[in-house]
Amino acid sequence: MTSTVTASTVEAEVESGSHLFTILRYSLVKGLGIGKSVTSDIFTIGGFDWIIRFHPDGSIPEATDFISFFLELKSSGDVNALFELAILEHNGLPSNMRFSTPQAKTFNITKIYYSWGLSKFAKRSEFEASNCLKNDAFTIKCTVTVLKGSRLQPTTPYGITVPPSNSNQQFARLLESEIGADVTFVVKGEKIRAHRCVLAAKSAVFNAELFGSMREKWTEAITVDDIEAPVFKSMLYFIYSDSLPDFEQNSNNDGEHKDLIFMAQHLLVAADRYDLERLKLMCEDLLYKNLDVSTVASTFVLAEQHSCKQLKAQCVQFMSSREVLKMVAETDAFHIIMKNSPSILKDV
């Protein structure tokens, strides 16, 4: 008797994206009246157009003491999507004033369910007393995940199941174990061991230092005095694993958020020095996603100094309104820039 076991897998295909909607001069927007609203610009996620609609005085008479937010579809067709609306604190982190869908909602512009959200999104008095509203402005972040369908892995009784590659994890363990390490770095007094071939394979700068004309200079150890040890270790982790260490995920409170920004800024500088373009772009993306009034000035300078054109353009866009620029001008970083290098802000 022959027994056959077969298997099949269905994987949901999704596309996600976010939009930041900033409301300036809130005190002038408030008082429009029940049911009256202001809207964001149209943004596209998953191939569909969307807007965020804000009712400062509530969308219905029963919500007169609340502010209301809705995500609204502007394209034709049925769309199944998950979404989250979250008012951001002034440090750029989501506040507890948020709403997310536990399961997908169906949007259709020609039917009654073209828009989803909450009439009683937040009590107006609590919102106005929170640290989300600063200098008469605040930002709400909308994250949309569009369900694009599903992909079926075919059923077959034949063949061999091949697990996904885990070489990046194996290389990360190699770095941690130091087995076979043949080069030592002394970074701010701390000794860090690594493997010449791995470094040279990923970085042209390391290749020149370790196997080029400079190799005779490093007979014992390579001294690095201009990079902090945690930053250097994070750079090595990327070289071995092609990913960022866990610091990217650990930014739930304000202190950890500042540590993340510090690490991303210094790691970008290290990536530029050692010609690690992918790491540099990952740091640019991380800094862009965490742009706020307190960080945009220093991030702008960093982008200018290290030829990060995309990040610089995003900083300029962030500071493009007079109200936001006024808030940025009150930060310590902006004052330092104006004192030492005012010409760098010519594009703002």
Residue 189 belongs to some domain of the structure: yes
Name the percent of the chain in helix, strand, coil, to the closest 5.
Answer: 40, 30, 35
Q: Indicate whether 156 belongs to any domain.
A: no
Within this chain, do residues 142 and 18 fall inside the same structural domain, yes or no? yes
Examine the domain organization and report whether 20 and 99 are in the same domain: yes
Domain C-terminal end among 274, 308, 324: 274
Residue 249: the pLDDT is: 47
- Whether 38 and 142 map to the same domain: the answer is yes
Residue ending a domain, among 108, 126, 150, is: 150
Which residues of the chain carry a pLDDT beneath 50? 249-252
Same domain, 265 and 200: yes
Q: What is the CA radius of gyration of the chain?
A: 25
Quick one: pLDDT at residue 121? 95
Q: Residue type for 6, please?
A: T
Q: Where are the alpha helices (DSSP H) in the chain?
A: 26-29, 124-129, 167-177, 196-202, 204-211, 229-241, 254-273, 277-289, 296-305, 309-318, 322-328, 332-340
**What is the total count of domains within the chain?**
3
Q: Tell me, yes or no, whether 241 lies in a domain.
A: yes
Residues 146 and 169 placed together within one structural domain of the fold: no
Q: What is the CATH number of the domain that holds 217?
A: 3.30.710.10
Specify whether 242 is located in the same domain as 336: no
pLDDT on residue 328 = 86
In a domain, 7, yes or no: no
Q: What is the pLDDT of residue 218?
A: 56
CATH number at residue 31: 2.60.210.10
Rounded alpha-carbon distances, angstroms, from residue 93 to 128, 195, 268: 17, 38, 22
CA 112/CA 125 separation, integer angstroms? 30
Distance (Å, whole) CA 348 – CA 345: 5
Q: Domain range spanning residue 169?
A: 165-274
The answer to whether residue 284 sits within a structural domain is: no
Q: Which residues contact 90 (CB under 8 A, 6 or more apart)?
A: 131, 132, 134, 292, 293, 294
Residue 104 maps to a domain: yes
Q: Is residue 73 part of a domain?
A: yes
Does residue 73 share a domain with residue 184?
A: no
Contacts of 228 (CB under 8 A, 6+ apart): 187, 188, 266
Specify whether 186 is located in the same domain as 145.
Answer: no
Output the pLDDT for position 251.
Answer: 47
Give yes or no: residues 183 and 206 share one domain: yes
Percentage, residues of the chain above pLDDT 90: 50
Give how far the C-alpha of residue 138 lies from the chain's centroid of Cα atoms, to the nearest Å. Answer: 19
Which of 58, 56, 57, 66 has the alpha carbon at shortest distance from 23? 56
Tell me if 280 is assigned to some domain.
Answer: no
CA angle 257, 262, 15 (to 5 degrees): 55
Tens of pLDDT, residue by residue over 121-159, are: 999 999 999 989 988 899 999 999 998 876 666 665 556
CATH of the domain at 347: 1.25.40.420
- Look at residue 159 in the predicted model and tell me its pLDDT: 62
Separation of alpha carbons 49 and 66, rounded Å = 27
